[in-house]
Structure formats: structure tokens, C-alpha cells
Amino acid sequence: MPEDRETAAEAAKKPEKVVKSEAEWRAKLTPEQYHVLREKGTERPFTGALVNNHDDGFYHCAACGAKLFKSDTKFESGSGWPSFFDPITKDAVELHEDNTYGMRRVEVTCAQCGGHLGHVFPDGPGPTGQRYCINSASLDFEKQ
């Protein structure tokens, strides 16, 4: 069996993919959320509701509710967007090469619904050295 194949147990742990039509996404999301999550848009820096959030809790995908980040991995990056050094689990997000706008970046999407969250950069703090730069519009916050 090839090493890149997942076992049945690993596959069973993964959440079921959320699939909706674009009309269903438009009905569920605000115009800003739709633009960010479904059209790969970006909110203006320092304008998002969660940029300065310092409460303890969990950050969920605003489209499907999947748990993505924990507050203890959030840090002040100065970028103008909520920044995290690690997702809640390795399977919570998916990474994709993004060569739009003449830049080479790594896009971060929700593994459950495919919604665009932001980008990840290799200039974050320890222990991972990663900076997941995420749009507030793509997140909901659950205070603990």
C-alpha cells in the first residue's frame, strides 16, 4: 500500500466536506464574508472585528463552523489581520500555492468547506515559525 494513502481510521476522523451552491453561500454569508470566503477577497488591514480580539476561545470558519484556531496561538504580527502560529489541528486547514498578483504565496483554506481564509508566511514566532494571516471576515469567535 503506498505511503500517501490514508488509512480508513484516518479518513474516518476527517470531518465531512461541506458543499453548497454559490446561491446557498450568498444566502448564508454577508456580502463581505462572501467576497473573502468564496471569491478569495481580502479585507482592508486593521479593519477586521477580530484583529484586536484578546479573549480566550476558538476561531471557527464563518462559512461552515469548523474549528480552525485556538486563541493561545494568536499573536500580534502588526500586519493588520489576525495572525496565528498554528491551526488547531493539521487537518483543519489546507494550503495551496497562490501566484496571483505577481506574488508567490501560500493560500490557506478551510479544509471542511474550501473557504478562503488568508495566507501563511514563514516569518512567524516559535514554535512553528509560521504566520497564518487570516481575514476576520472569514472567522467567527467562540469565547471560552
CB 22 within 8 A of CB 105: no
> What confidence category does residue 86 fall into, taking pLDDT thresholds of 50, 70 and 90?
very high
pLDDT of 27 reads 96
The C-alpha atoms of residue 136 and residue 52 are separated, in whole angstroms, by 10
Catalytic residue among 61, 110, 113, 133: 133
Check residue 1 and give its pLDDT: 41
Q: Is 64 a catalytic residue?
A: no
C-alpha cell of residue 33: 464574508
Q: For all residues of the chain together, what is the average pLDDT?
A: 91
Of 17 and 131, the structure prediction assigns the larger pLDDT to: 131
**pLDDT at site 14:** 64
55-71 pLDDT, tens digit per residue, is 999 999 999 999 999 99
